[in-house]
Amino acid sequence: MVSQTVKCPSCKTIMIITGEPGEKTSITCPSCEQKGVFTIPGEKSTAPTLSQQTAIEVSGLRKTYNHVPAVDNVSFSVNKGEIFGFLGPNGAGKTTTIKSILDLIHADAGSITINGIDVRTRGKEAKKYVGYMPEKVAFYDNLTAIQNMNFYAEIKHASKQECVSLINELGLGDTGKKRVGKFSKGMLQRLGMARALLGSPPILILDEPSGGLDPRGVVLIRDKILEMKKKGTTIFVSSHILSEIQEICDRVGIINKGVLVAQDSVESLSKKLNLKPQMSITLDKLSPAVEDAVRNLPGVEHVVSKGNTLEIICDGAMKAKVILAITNAGANIQNLQTKEPSLEEVFMRYTEA
Amino acid sequence: MQTSIIYSIAKKEIMDNVRNKWIILVAAMFAILTLVVSYFGSLGTSGWQNLGNTISGMTELGSFLISIVAFMLGYATIIGEIERGSMSAMLSLSANRFEIVVGKWLGLGAVLCFTILVGYGFAGLLIALNVSNVDILEYLAFIGLTMLFGLVFLTVAICFSTIFAKRSTALGGAIFLWFLFNIILPIVFVGLLMTTIDFSEITMTSTITAPDWYFVLNLFNPISVYSTLITLAIGPVQTSTGSGFIPNPSWYSTGLLLTILVVWIIVFFILSVWRFQRKDI
């Protein structure tokens, strides 16, 4: 929404109108009642929207370098509006997959569509839906941040005002006129995020977006990702910082040695692996009778005592029964902590040699 | 193909190179060298030379320098951006590869032509103020042909930057090609020519008539094509250098030589696009 002041042509009364840029509004002057049509200045927002439920579809992707497969028969899909985390150890094929989605790398086999459009044959059209932040963010060092962004905006058919507002949003407002060659790694990363957001694409592809950032930068990027999700943006993010992905992702795909080994929500992946939550219960006094009562419960796998604390690994459904057994045995619970299986455990299991 | 994207890429190349400032130094160098050649260029005489003498003096020096400048502008333009990582961003913003090659060719070509125009133009102006009989059109034709020659080397350089997998090997290739055209080929061709000449019949005043194959071979070296083109096309050069050591055959024509330079540009341009389309970024 943009506000604009207009002057009535006959009685010179000043009015304020609001609307989207490019929108035509009919107005009536409040004092002399003259009617008129006013077009709000600026280019009409041409941000594309997704027409398909599947934002990105990769099927049977294969790419070999010198007869060694970098990715082999990788298939997955990213649904409209979700955050999809793409995980894997270094050299697993994450960047190869991402670059194939953007047709930067020509795959040997398989098909990739963005919003149902084949990237290989209709790349230009498909890429309109995508904003991309590469793992290695690079700009033209001799040009300023604003000059760089203006160049990319011209290619993406975005406006110059958008460049300025994105630079401000990413906290680079006071460095817009500085040569990018003098930027720190963190500033480059933010500018890279601003570039990916140009033209409000409905899909964001982020390759290790918080690599090399200080904690403040990591939070800024994560907040930006969540903010974009709220606006309905589909986000495909690769990362090795698992704790971060776990917090924000709806689903994850795990790739290892070029093969996609898992694709699901973190919760169902840990269920599939039969990973169990861990409980840590501190009691007023720990007697062997209490410990035995817990140990004899069905579904309890592992019990260790440390001082007045019991460390228990059990089925998720048994947690309440464990607590009941302890109180029935006459002990009082002073502190209780449970740790759900983490993405890290899921990841380690799937990428084990 | 979107012309607005091509225009943006060309504009970016110009801005990037102008901000880099080295191209301004190159233009100044051209101007100074032209003036030096014009003032001191001819043995036995001193003071300002006429435009014909200046041009013939500049042709050889110019072909050395302009081939270097064109190579420097172009050899890393694609592979350099791929290595640095800025190419993937440009491609992801829906610029296609053909648009990128065209945009870069136009932008870098404009920088090269502008440098030649400013350097040679400024020097030409100073010469014109000091020498009476100056044919402006002939000098402009010289500048135009030099630009065309520069574009040949620029296109070859851009092609190298799509063929090689690394910036450093592209640089190596460019340096090799520079030596090949400027030094190795002329020596080899003249060497081959020498083996066919009966030196016992040569006197100080006789001119050597070279066989046709020698002239055909020379057509494969754009530097020879350029310098021959200058002697054929620019009137004052013809009269000032006389018939030269080895007279050109009658079938050499301005049209033929111009066509050869244009064909070089077209062939290497197409090769650049073809290679870049198939490259993994």
Give the domain extent around B84: 3-277
CA dist A297 → A293, A302, A309, A318 (Å): 7, 11, 18, 9
CA distance A256 to chain B (A): 22
Report d(CA B213, CA A199) in Å as an integer: 60
Reduce the DSSP state of residue A153 to 3 states and report it.
Answer: helix
List CB contacts (< 8 A) between A71 and chain B.
none
Return the residue of A nearest to B3 by Cα.
A155
Asked whether the predicted pLDDT for residue B244 surpasses 50, the reply is no
Let me know how long chain A is. 353
Report d(CA A260, CA A126) in Å as an integer: 24
List CB contacts (< 8 A) between A64 and chain B.
none
- The predicted complex's ipTM stands at 0.84
Domains A54-264 and A274-350 share a fold: no
Residue B43 has a pLDDT of 54
| Interchain contact, B92 vs A154, CB within 8 Å | no
CB-nearest partner of B92 from A106, A132, A154: A132
Return the residue of A nearest to B18 by Cα.
A142
| Interchain contact, A154 vs B8, CB within 8 Å | yes
CA distance A254 to chain B (A): 24
Report d(CA A297, CA A323) in Å as an integer: 11
Q: What are phi and psi of A192, to 5 degrees?
A: -65, -40
* Cα atoms in the 13 Å half-sphere on the side-chain side of B230: 31
Given CB atoms, is A105 within the 8 Å cutoff of chain B? yes
Domain total of chain B: 1
Buried b (16+ CB within 10 A) or exposed e, B57-76: bbbeebbebbbbbbbbbbbb
| CATH code of the domain made up of A54-264 | 3.40.50.300
List CB contacts (< 8 A) between A103 and chain B.
91
Q: Which tens digits make up the pLDDT trace of A31-43?
A: 888 887 777 766 5
Most confident of B61-70, B84-93, B134-143: B84-93
Given CB atoms, is A127 within the 8 Å cutoff of chain B? yes
Return the residue of B nearest to A101 by Cα.
B92
Q: Which tens digits make up the pLDDT trace of A192-246?
A: 999 999 999 999 999 988 877 888 888 888 889 999 999 999 999 998 777 777 7
| Interchain contact, B86 vs A139, CB within 8 Å | yes
Residue B160 has a pLDDT of 95
CB pairs under 8 A between A and B: 79
Q: What percent of chain B has pLDDT over 70?
A: 89
Q: Which tens digits make up the pLDDT trace of A160-197?
A: 999 999 999 888 888 888 999 999 988 999 999 999 99
Q: Which of B78, B94, B102, B279 to mutate to test the interface with A (most CBs of A within 10 A)?
A: B94
Residue B240 has a pLDDT of 47
Q: Counting beta carbons within 10 angstroms of the beta carbon of residue A276, is it exposed (0 to 12), middle (13 to 18) or buried (19 or more)?
A: buried
Q: Which tens digits make up the pLDDT trace of A279-304?
A: 888 888 888 888 888 888 888 888 88
Place of tokens 């033929």: B256
Q: How confident is the model at residue B242 (pLDDT cuts 50, 70, 90)?
A: very low
Identify residues of B whose CB sits under 8 angstroms from chain A CBs. 4-5, 8-9, 11-12, 15-16, 19-20, 84-86, 88-96, 278, 280-281
Contacts of A151 (CB under 8 A, 6+ apart): A140, A143, B8, B11, B12
Is the CATH number of domain A274-350 3.30.200.210?
Answer: no
Report d(CA A202, CA A234) in Å as an integer: 6
| Interchain contact, B91 vs A102, CB within 8 Å | yes
| Interchain contact, B4 vs A154, CB within 8 Å | yes
> Beta strand pairing status for A83-87 and A234-239?
parallel
Return the residue of A nearest to B99 by Cα.
A155
Report d(CA B3, CA B107) in Å as an integer: 13
| Interchain contact, B92 vs A123, CB within 8 Å | no
Report d(CA A307, CA A286) in Å as an integer: 8
What are the structural domain ranges in chain A?
Answer: 2-39, 54-264, 274-350
| Interchain contact, A154 vs B95, CB within 8 Å | no
Mean pLDDT of chain B: 85
Q: What percent of chain B has pLDDT over 90?
A: 46
The residue-averaged pLDDT of B99-116 equals 95
Model confidence, pTM: 0.82
Return the residue of A nearest to B90 by Cα.
A152
